[in-house]
Amino acid sequence: MKKLINQPDSFVRESLAGMAAAHSSLLKVNFEPTFVYRADAPVTGKVAIISGGGSGHEPMHAGFVGMGMLDAACPGEVFTSPTPDQMLAAAKQVDGGAGVLYIVKNYSGDVMNFEMATELARVEDIRVLNVLIDDDVAVQDSLYTQGRRGVGTTVLAEKICGAAAADGYNLPQVADLCRRVNLNGRSMGMALTSCTVPTKGSPTFSLGDREMEIGIGIHGEPGRERMSLKSVDEITEILALSIINDRRYSRTVREWDETQEEWVDVELVNSEFKSGDRVLAFVNGMGGTPLSELYIVYRKLAEICQKHGLQIMRNLIGNYITSLEMQGCSITLLKVDDEMLRLWDAPVKTASLCW
């Protein structure tokens, strides 16, 4: 496949260098170890928020570094988790004395490395908490996860929690809010085509001209079902109803307990959507889908939400959590309250989200 690159091995580094040159007033990039951070970091007295994951999902996460969102992002190589030393270095750079929250997508490598980074940071007297995002209703387990994958709700959590940190919330308050966002968000995606990792040079998987994959992961992981191509309205209905009809979901995750100074198991339970709920509707492109097509998806999604008594209070449409040049989309519905709406509306200025 043709790509605008020099050498595959320099893809991530040169992309980050270009981002730094284009947005020098917003962010800076450190190499060895690699992380992106706010140009004005650290912000004294403010909780710092850090996320990260494999590259190839841009603009997530580096595109969300800036005022009102992330203080730092740790990019790994394409579809490869960042390392603990990246996360620790980022925490040292952006900690303004109020502690650091790691927002972690539920992929085994990300979870393991952010846990190690949490322990390393605490040894160096940096107060760190971590919250897991696991909102993908498509499958219970996948190639890179135990439990549900972390996808679209990650973007929403980064915006809402970034606003809370800017508003003066303390570390436990921001962590509690992030956990609540995760518990109220659900997502599901689909693919019309595969994607090509630069170092591999060939598609991650193959789909026939008249095939699509429902429930695809953002790294090309298998979904629920491969089926014949359907109309956009039919696809939107499959995704939306999988989310709306998703049952109560219970699981156990590991979180750091500051009182006990150790990892503890925490049981989390998502409640079901019900008529009368207020939601934020997020229609996301997977990287190669035109915005015009995403608006067709949103048109049908709005109709489905109205039919099921869900009131769309806010929306986000565009390519925000991608899989390189994959054609496809995902839908995220987040059940919101007045606090979340206020924080969503709060000012944000990053390379990829600004209002």
Residues assigned a catalytic role: 57, 219
Closest CA to 134 of 120, 146, 150: 150
- Asked if 326 and 223 touch (Cβ cutoff 8 Å), the reply is no
Run of H or E residues at 312: strand 311-318
Closest CA to 84 of 122, 40, 115, 58: 115
d(Cα 328, Cα 205) in Å, to the nearest integer? Answer: 14
- Asked if 240 and 330 touch (Cβ cutoff 8 Å), the reply is no
Closest CA to 130 of 253, 236, 219, 237: 253
Closest CA to 297 of 189, 147, 161, 213: 189
In the structure encoding, which two tokens stand for residue 290, read together?
A: 């035109």
In the structure encoding, which two tokens stand for residue 175, read together?
A: 């962590």
* DSSP-assigned states of every residue in 192-204: SS--B-TTT-SBS
Q: Where are the beta strands (DSSP E) in the chain?
A: 27-30, 35-38, 48-55, 66-67, 72-78, 100-105, 128-133, 185-191, 211-214, 225-228, 249-257, 262-270, 278-285, 311-318, 328-335, 349-350
Coil/strand/helix, residue 98: coil
d(Cα 129, Cα 155) in Å, to the nearest integer? Answer: 18
Residues 6+ apart with CB under 8 A from 289: 192, 319, 327, 328, 329
- Residue 235, phi-psi category: left (phi > 0), alpha (psi -120 to 50), beta (remainder): alpha
Residue the block writes with tokens 């952010």: 114
- Give the Cα-Cα-Cα angle 106, 233, 352 (nearest 5 degrees): 45
